[in-house]
Amino acid sequence: MAVYTDVSEGELEAFLKEYQVGDLLSYKGIAEGSENSNYMLHTTKGAYILTLYEKRVERQDLPFFLGLMEHLAKKGIVCPLPVQRRDGQLIGTLADRAAALITFLEGVWIRKPNATQCREVGRALAGLHLAGADFPMSRPNALQIEGWRKLWAGARDRADEVEPGLVAEIDREFAELERDWPTDLPGGIIHADLFPDNVFFLGNELSGLIDFYFACNDFYAYDLAICLNAWCFEKDQSYNLTKSAALLSGYRSVRPLSDAEAEALPLLARGAALRFMLTRLYDWLTIPDGELVLKRDPHEFIRRLRFHRRIRSTAEYGL
C-alpha cells in the first residue's frame, strides 16, 4: 500500500457515518505497499483498514474483489472481510476515490521467510485455488501478455536508461512468450500477487492472506510461478532451492500438479517475472520521487527473468 490520496478527518468521519463501526478514534496512512492508498483506523468498535482504490483498480471490478474475499472467508480461508455499509453496499466514495473498509487481520509479514513458511504459502495457495473453484464471478487477467504490452509501450522509450540493452532483451522476451505461452492448463480464480507482504504469519503459522486486488481467472500454475518468483529468491538474487522445493511440495500436498503444469513452470515463471518487472519499471519511470509511495526496484525482476530463462528442467526448481 501507499498513500496517494490524503483524507481529512472531517471527510473520514462523514464517510464512517455510513457504517456501523462506532466513532473514529484515530487513523494513519500506511506507507507500505505500492498500489492503493491505505489507512489504519481505530474506532470505538475496533481496528479496520480503509482502502482508497487508485490507478490499477477499476471500480467495476470491486464487486469481484470484495465478493471473492467474502466467498473465501466463508470457505475457511483467513482473509479480510469487507464491512457492509448501512445501505448494504460494500463500496463507497471518499476523496473522489472508490473506497472500502475491511477488517483488520492479526499477524506480520515476514521479511526473510524460511522453508517452513514457504511450505505454508504453497499449501495456502492451493487451498485458495480449491476454495475459489465455485466462486460464481469471473474476471479476466488484465495483466496477461496484452496488458504487459501496454505497460511496455509506456516504458520502452526510457527502459535503456534503467539498464542498457533492456529494450532489445525485453522485445525478444515478448516474442518468445507470445509464441510459447500455454493455452490449455487448468485454471480458475488466482490471487496473482501472493508476495511475502501479502501473507501474514504468527510464528511459522500462516495467519492470513490479504490484497486480492489483482485476483482474476488464469492458470493455477501461473499463480504458483508468481510465488516462486516472490518467495524463493534471496536478497543477492540467488535462487533458494530448499524454499522452492518446500513451496512446491506444500502446494502439491493440497492440489496435485499435472505433468503439463509442471513442464510449463519455467515459461510461466518467465512471464511472471516479466509482469512484475514491467509494473515496477512503469512506476519507476512515472511516479515522482518524494511521494509517500514505495517505488519497487525493477532490476530484481530482470535478474529473476534471466534465471528462469536458463532453466532446462523442473528439477532445478526442486520438483
Ligand X SMILES: Nc1ncnc2c1ncn2[C@@H]1O[C@H](COP(=O)(O)OP(=O)(O)OP(=O)(O)O)[C@@H](O)[C@H]1O
Ligand Y SMILES: N[C@@H](CCO)C(=O)O
Q: Note the residues at the interface with ligand X (CB under 6 A).
A: 1-2, 30, 32-36, 38, 49, 80, 102, 104-105, 109, 193, 195, 197-198, 210-211, 213
Which ranges of 163-240 would DSSP assign to H, the alpha helix? 166-180, 220-231
CA distance 242 to 245: 5
* Binding residues among 243-282 for ligand Y as defined by CB under 6 A: 276, 279-280
* Binding residues among 193-222 for ligand Y as defined by CB under 6 A: 193, 195
Helix-then-strand count for the chain, H and E:
9, 10
Shortest Å, Cβ 58 to ligand Y: 15
Is residue 255 within 8 A of residue 129, CB to CB? The reply is yes
Judged by beta carbon distances under 5 to 8 A according to partner kind, the member of ligand Y, ligand X, none in contact with residue 139 is none
- In 3D, which of 27, 26, 25 has the Cα closest to residue 37? 27
Q: Which residue is nearest to ligand Y (CB)?
A: 195
- In 3D, which of 226, 274, 249, 34 has the Cα closest to residue 123? 249
- In 3D, which of 297, 222, 298 has the Cα closest to residue 260? 222
Which CB atom, from 64 or from 212, has the smaller least distance to ligand Y? Answer: 212
- In 3D, which of 87, 94, 103 has the Cα closest to residue 15? 94
Build a one-symbol-per-residue string for 3-42: x at contacts with ligand Y by CB under 6 A, - elsewhere: -------------------------------xx-------
Build a one-symbol-per-residue string for 178-197: x at contacts with ligand Y by CB under 6 A, - elsewhere: ---------------x-x--
For ligand Y, the binding residues (CB under 6 A) are: 34-35, 193, 195, 276, 279-280, 296
